[in-house]
Amino acid sequence: MLIRPTTEADLDQILAWPVTGPAGVVPAGRYREELDRHQYRPEWTWVAEDEGRVLARAIWWGFAGAAYPLVLDCVSASGSLPAGGSASGRTLLAARLIAAGQQALRKPGPSVAPGFEIHLPPGWRSDPAVAAAFAWRHDAAARAGLTDELVIATHARISPREAADRLAIRELINAYAHCADRRDAKAQMALFTEDIRFIVFMDATVADPRAAAAIGRPHALTGRSPDPGDAGSPTRP
């Protein structure tokens, strides 16, 4: 079994992939549209193949100018694969495919791995076919190491951009915490724009936390003056 990113030469095979599931699929027309926008890309589309026959496909989505994707937008696999233990063959192969793609496509450094957005219709739990389509994808994602917070089951259709915005916010929070844990004030300061104002709640025991809040600018994290002409002497607390 070969798991790999696709190339432009694979396009016809990717577009010919059968789209028969009741949820979590990307039709050929939508794939081509997103490809033209540079939000799907050959290197963000991964397949698992056996002797040249594609058995599973995974598609990641990202902003047109981005170097890395933000959302795993679709995973589908053949339903005729042999089972392994308590898991179906499609689940096990999809898990291998997701894990390989997530590892290769994750942005370096303190970043959140791409999330997996599974689109589901309202009332999906009462539809056995849709519930089954969600279940094996959720199981595959878990086996690939995605935590529940990274698997987004949407009951109302949201665009990949909206899902990406949610993940970008989560990534910012993760980067802030990463810098704080390592006492890296300069890197933490670089996460802010110059005109940002942040509030730190200093004492959670008071009735109104705002009364014990410290409000400041990003340079306060380093205790240095924002004045370009300042030599940067630390300020006293």
Reported as a single tens digit per residue, the pLDDT across 168-177 is: 777 777 777 7
Reported as a single tens digit per residue, the pLDDT across 76-114 is: 998 766 655 556 888 999 999 999 999 999 888 766 678
The number of angstroms, rounded, from the C-alpha of 198 to the middle of its chain's C-alpha atoms is 26
Which contacts (CB < 8 Å, 24+ apart) does range 155-159 have? 155/120, 155/121, 155/122, 155/124, 156/122, 157/119, 158/117
Reported as a single tens digit per residue, the pLDDT across 32-84 is: 999 999 999 999 999 999 988 999 999 999 888 889 998 899 999 987 666 55
Q: Which two tokens stand for residue 137?
A: 């994808």
Of 219 and 22, the one with more pLDDT: 22
CA gyration radius, the chain: 22
Task: Tell me which of 3.30.70, 3.40.630, 2.60.40, 1.25.40 is the CATH number of domain 2-178.
Answer: 3.40.630
Can you point out the beta strands (E) in the chain?
A: 2-5, 45-50, 53-61, 71-77, 115-119, 151-154, 198-201, 213-216
| Extents of the domains making up the chain | 2-178, 184-237
Q: What is the mean pLDDT of the chain?
A: 79
DSSP-derived secondary structure for 60-115:
EE--TT-SS--EEEEEEE-TTSPPBTTB-HHHHHHHHHHHHHHHHHSPSSS-PPPE
